[in-house]
Amino acid sequence: MSELRQDPFTDRWVIIAENRVDRPQEFMPRPAQRAALTCPFCRGNEAETPEEVARYGAPGAAPADWQVRVVPNKFPAVRPAAEIEKAAFQTAGPLYPTGTSGLGRRQPASGVHEVIVESPDHVARFSELSDLQIELSFAAYRDRLFALQREPQLTYALVFKNTGVDAGASLEHVHSQLIALPQTPPEVQYELTKAGEHLALHGNPLMADVLAAEVADGRRILIATDAFTVYCPAASRLPFETWIVPRRPAPRFELEAPEMIVEAAHLVRDVVVRFEERLTRPAHNFWIHSAPIGDESGRIHWRIELAPRLATMAGFEFGSGCFINPIAPEVAAKHLQ
């Protein structure tokens, strides 16, 4: 029997429809992408990327012996405001040219788009990185998010990883990305409003109450440490969707203590390894969901969301905004435990 469930953070509805897992060809992976003949992210090819923003290595190592690099995206979705001004690229104004004032807006796509290259060697997956590399990668995430606070025109930033063709990766070499925008996306703005209403009404942060309910239920918990709870959310949009949430709610990832960020890095690798070992190495994504830049209101609390790409968004999802998930999160958690 299918079931409708509503996500408490966004009010988004999902349909848990376990019978659909038996459809023909469900979860058949696409062929893996062939490695590039010349990879711009490998050691020795540094000149193939834009000038780096930051470089990380082992303590005392020579600069050439880097482990993690941060570079501007060579094909950015958004560009720094200074570049747009220099190019005199001006499109600000109404979306429609005449007679329709108020029906949408258009403006130059300003912002920051960076790539975090997480290994000098040509490895394809986060699970293949050394302890040092995953810790330095997460240190880079923190440092770049802090750096963006000096850019007054930016209001929101997202760190995310695409692994595999089906997850949106265009290069095989292990890497993450960061995009920062001058606007807060509508879904994040809605969560701010919803969580603010919950805080005002109940006196507790929404995330704290949801986490307490998940722990009390227990069926969807994968890992519990002194600092974090890892679970499959009750209203999961996607099969085997998993969240890593600090037990002490905090608004933004980059504000956490270094030891918390190190533990988060290792938990992400733990979950990715579970995906790979128990779900036949699927393409997957993860992203760090935080409050907007500078927001310390206590409404949104940061978390890391992970999802293997086992199902495809189709017409119903695009048309309704409601997801159909063929694996109940209770079943998903039991499989991943």
Domains of the chain, CATH where assigned:
3-86+104-336 (3.30.428.10)
Q: Tell me the C-alpha distance between 56 and 86, whole Å.
A: 31
Environment class of residue 295 by beta-carbon count within 10 Å: exposed (0-12), middle (13-18) or buried (19+)?
middle
pLDDT higher than 60, residue 35: no
Least confident of 23-27, 66-70, 203-207: 23-27
pTM for the whole structure:
0.89
Least confident of 3-17, 51-65, 154-168: 3-17
* Cα radius of gyration (the chain): 21
pLDDT higher than 70, residue 200: yes
pLDDT band at residue 102 using 50, 70 and 90 as cut-offs: low
- The CA-based angle 34-39-42, given to 5 degrees, is 125
Q: Tell me the C-alpha distance between 290 and 158, whole Å.
A: 8
pLDDT higher than 70, residue 20: no
pLDDT band at residue 76 using 50, 70 and 90 as cut-offs: confident
Q: Tell me the C-alpha distance between 235 and 15, whole Å.
A: 8
pLDDT tens-digit map of 268-307: 999 999 999 999 899 999 999 999 999 988 899 999 999 9
pLDDT at 21: 54
Q: Tell me the C-alpha distance between 115 and 113, whole Å.
A: 7
